[in-house]
Amino acid sequence: MKEWITGLFSETLHLELSGQPVGRWALAVAVAAVVFLVLRLVVGLAGRRLGAIAARTETPIDDGIASLVKKTRWWLLLVVALFAGSVLVELPERGRALLHNVVVIALLLQLGIWASTALRFTLEHYRQRQIKKDPASVTAVNAIGLILTAVLWLGILLLALDNLGFNVTALIAGLGVGGIAVALAVQNILGDLFASLSILIDKPFVVGDFLIIDDYMGSVEHVGLKTTRVRSLSGEQLVFSNSDLLNSRLRNYGRMFERRVAFTIGVTYQTPREQLKQIPGIMRAAIEAQEHTRFDRSHFAKYGDFSLNFETVYYVLGPDYNLYMDIQQAINLYVHEQFEQAGIEFAYPTQTLFVQRDEPIGATS
């Protein structure tokens, strides 16, 4: 029995499959299986080890490497294992070419996965780092990520087709002509897209800035690929296309570090000269009595139609509108109190009518 089994096994090993002994095929399969298991074990251990190291450190580099290792696909390891096993057998020319194409395409796909993972990780790290100190730099990060990902996978597709023997040059030319036609058809959308990228790069405003756009005003809520959304003071949402927004005259109060305030008050023409000389000092004291202000000037500016006008200029050391209104209110109350104590009267529109009576010629008294 033992001799029969040994003989059967020896005969089986000497059988040929596609011109190769079955024993050699069995050895190739065994090598492929061992290589696959070893690679799976190494990748798994490396992923867990790098993940543990990344959890203990604050640097983003090890986190990125760990994410790349975890994105290694099992089918790539299988293709590599099959290639390693195929070295032990002589494959026909067509079979060897097919295996070569499969290996190259698998490597290209895996490189695409690694590159897109690294791109997403980099953009997310940039977004998290910049979102608090510079929101403008992250408003179009998703758009950039989408464009770069599309370009990456288009390149992978072209390389794969070139490896399979397709005429990539003709395909690229066709894509160029088709791209021009599509660009002409969606030029408005592309204009808004590039305007979104311009907002990201040039940073004319950021989310949270208060803008005045022509006759509209409000705070920026969101900057998208095509539109920017602004919340108006009355509560409704205003939607502007990005290209129209950049072509408009914007007044960005979010970039205002201090507010210049110029206002005028008028007193009556009957005010004595000595009291007129006191008014600039009263205005200066009213402004300097408030916090977050810087006095600039106060002058007897001109003779009005019904008042003597004094122009005063000062700065509020902050962009907040409510702060400005609180300060202006305090100044007005202070000036009113001082004028009341000094007996200075505010002017208001008045009209004086002079009536002259002429005596008729030859009249006698």
Euclidean distance between the first and final Cα of the chain, in Å? 170
DSSP string, 156-215: HHHHHHHHTT--HHHHHHHHHHHHHHHHHHTHHHHHHHHHHHHHHHH-S--TT-EEEETT
The single-letter code of the amino acid at 232 is S
Q: How much is the pLDDT for 302?
A: 93
Q: How much is the pLDDT for 281?
A: 94
Show the DSSP H helices in the chain as ranges.
2-14, 22-56, 60-70, 74-86, 93-130, 141-163, 168-185, 187-202, 242-247, 273-288, 321-342
Q: Beta partners for 238? A: 230
Distances (CA, A) of 93 to 21, 90, 99, 122, 253: 18, 9, 10, 43, 72
**Closest of 242, 237, 229, 230 to residue 202, by C-alpha:** 242
Taking a C-beta distance cutoff of 8 angstroms, is the pair 156, 107 a contact? no
Same topology, domains 191-254 and 259-342? Answer is: no
Q: Which two tokens stand for residue 244?
A: 């129209």
Instruction: Note the maximum CA span of the chain.
Output: 171
Give the contacts of 350 (CB within 8 A, at least 6 positions apart): 306
Query: CATH for 259-342?
Result: 3.30.70.100
**Closest of 261, 255, 256, 222 to residue 238, by C-alpha:** 222
Q: How much is the pLDDT for 55?
A: 74
∠ CA 327-328-330, rounded to 5°: 65
pLDDT in tens, 318-339: 888 889 999 999 999 999 999 9
Residues of the chain with pLDDT under 70: 1-23, 130-143, 168, 170-191, 358-365
Q: Which CATH number fits domain 191-254: 2.60.40.2140, 3.40.50.720, 2.30.30.60, 3.30.70.1060?
A: 2.30.30.60
pLDDT in tens, 141-177: 666 777 788 888 888 887 777 777 777 676 666 666 5
Q: How far does Cα 111 stand from its chain's mean position?
A: 27
Domain positions in the chain are 12-130, 191-254, 259-342
- Spatial distance between the Cα atoms of 169 and 112, rounded to a whole number of angstroms: 21
Q: Which two tokens stand for residue 1?
A: 């029995």
